[in-house]
């Protein structure tokens, strides 16, 4: 059950302020202390915007993952950074993301950095909203590493990464994190063609260290690289198998798909809480308060209020900040309007 009926939440990422993007391209000009200050300042911006919108749950906006060395791959030993993406020109798409080579045994001696991110968020956020951490799962992380003779295929790489994620999740909860999202967008994108039972097994072994110790969710996404999807945008192939994920809440993106398959939330709500994406992060149409309230009512025809939460379709990192702010504010106001109507 939701901690609050018709809860408002976010997926994880938030747009970088322009100055942060500029600075991240000129990091050589900054010292260690400058960068630490910049990381704090960026999180303050993301926290401010989210607090302003009135959300029940906020994140650090993944503001500090602006550099390879600050991303999950930067924490891995045994890989070499891919220097050049295979396609340099043409419209932006997933094939322009480089893959990293594996050169040695994969190790993560310093963890994956999510605990430091959470500690920073705790230090900078005001009391009130729930602080959520999100971390990609091992199958998704494996997608940007090239298998080799030691790790023969994507599943072998996944198995090597799984304990790193599992340990990081345990450390997050030990650090006081009460709400965690494990993102496996590669599982939702490829569910139609891969072994879904195998995905469920991988997912459940990843989260076994924290099940029952925090509020745990996952986000079933179809991709958002520079605002583009990559998967077959259908939920039908995932269910009922994905109901076996050991999570409290499953998030589905509905706004960008014009609420196609909305009835699937009924099936999810019989077993799990369901977070419905009501903000299209890829469109510059700003959903109005009335739009949101109408969608909340529509969702209530399929699932009870204490099973439902509302969020953008995906992280907001690929949406301009002015639009992200307006969209979040309208989402919260629309949900609040329905709460008042229903007296919840």
| Residue ranges binding Zn ion (CB under 5 A) | 221, 224, 314
What is the per-residue DSSP string for 182-224? EE-HHHHHHTTTS-HHHHHHHHHHHHTTTTTTSEEEEEE----
User: Smallest distance from the beta carbon of 36 to Zn ion, in angstroms?
Assistant: 28
Q: Report the residue closest to Zn ion, judged by CB.
A: 221
User: Smallest distance from the beta carbon of 176 to Zn ion, in angstroms?
Assistant: 26
If DSSP codes are grouped into helix, strand and coil, which group holds residue 283?
coil
Do 59 and 134 touch, CB atoms closer than 8 A?
yes
User: Smallest distance from the beta carbon of 222 to Zn ion, in angstroms?
Assistant: 8
* CB of 20 or CB of 221, closer to Zn ion: 221
User: Smallest distance from the beta carbon of 315 to Zn ion, in angstroms?
Assistant: 6
Where are any strands of DSSP class E within the chain? 7-8, 57-58, 77-80, 100-107, 130-136, 145-146, 179-183, 215-220, 249-253, 273-279, 308-312
User: Smallest distance from the beta carbon of 335 to Zn ion, in angstroms?
Assistant: 20
Rounded Cα distance between 11 and 312, Å, is 7
* CB of 228 or CB of 337, closer to Zn ion: 228
Residue that the structure tokens 């494996």 belong to: 142
User: Smallest distance from the beta carbon of 322 to Zn ion, in angstroms?
Assistant: 21
DSSP lists the bridge partners of residue 101 as 80, 146
* CB of 55 or CB of 79, closer to Zn ion: 55
* CB of 216 or CB of 221, closer to Zn ion: 221
* CB of 35 or CB of 247, closer to Zn ion: 247
Residues in the chain: 344
Rounded Cα distance between 74 and 57, Å, is 28
Angle, in degrees to the nearest 10, between helices 289-300 and 321-342: 50
* CB of 10 or CB of 314, closer to Zn ion: 314
């Amino acid at each position: 059950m939701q901690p609050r009926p018709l809860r408002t939440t976010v997926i994880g990422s938030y747009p970088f302020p322009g100055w942060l993007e500029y600075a991240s391209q000129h990091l050589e000009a900054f010292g260690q202390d400058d960068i630490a200050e910049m990381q704090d300042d960026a999180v303050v911006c993301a926290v401010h915007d989210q607090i302003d919108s009135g959300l029940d749950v906020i994140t650090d906006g993944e503001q500090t993952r602006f550099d390879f060395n600050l991303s999950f791959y930067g924490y891995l030993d045994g890989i070499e950074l891919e220097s050049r993406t295979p396609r340099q020109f043409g419209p932006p798409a997933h094939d322009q993301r480089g893959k990293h080579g594996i050169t040695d045994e994969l190790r993560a001696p310093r963890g994956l950095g999510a605990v430091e991110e959470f500690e920073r968020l705790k230090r900078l956020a005001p009391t009130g909203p729930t602080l959520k951490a999100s971390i990609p799962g091992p199958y998704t992380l494996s997608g940007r590493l090239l298998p080799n003779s030691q790790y023969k295929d994507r599943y072998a790489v996944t198995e090597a990464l799984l304990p790193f994620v599992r340990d990081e999740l345990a450390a997050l909860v030990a650090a006081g994190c009460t709400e965690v999202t494990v993102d496996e967008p590669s599982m939702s994108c490829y569910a139609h063609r891969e072994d879904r039972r195998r995905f469920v097994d991988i997912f459940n072994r990843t989260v076994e260290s924290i099940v029952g110790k925090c509020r745990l969710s996952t986000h079933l996404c179809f991709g958002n690289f520079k605002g583009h999807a990559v998967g077959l945008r259908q939920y039908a192939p995932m269910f009922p198998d994905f109901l076996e994920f050991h999570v409290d809440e499953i998030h589905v993106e509905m706004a960008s798909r014009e609420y196609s398959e909305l009835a699937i939330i009924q099936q999810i709500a019989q077993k799990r809480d369901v977070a419905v994406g009501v903000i299209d992060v890829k469109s510059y149409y700003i959903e109005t308060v009335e739009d949101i309230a109408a969608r909340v009512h529509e969702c209530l025809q399929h699932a009870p209020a204490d099973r439902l939460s509302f969020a953008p379709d995906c992280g907001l990192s690929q949406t301009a900040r002015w639009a992200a702010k307006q969209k979040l504010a309208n989402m919260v106001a629309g949900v609040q309007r329905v709460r008042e109507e229903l007296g919840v």
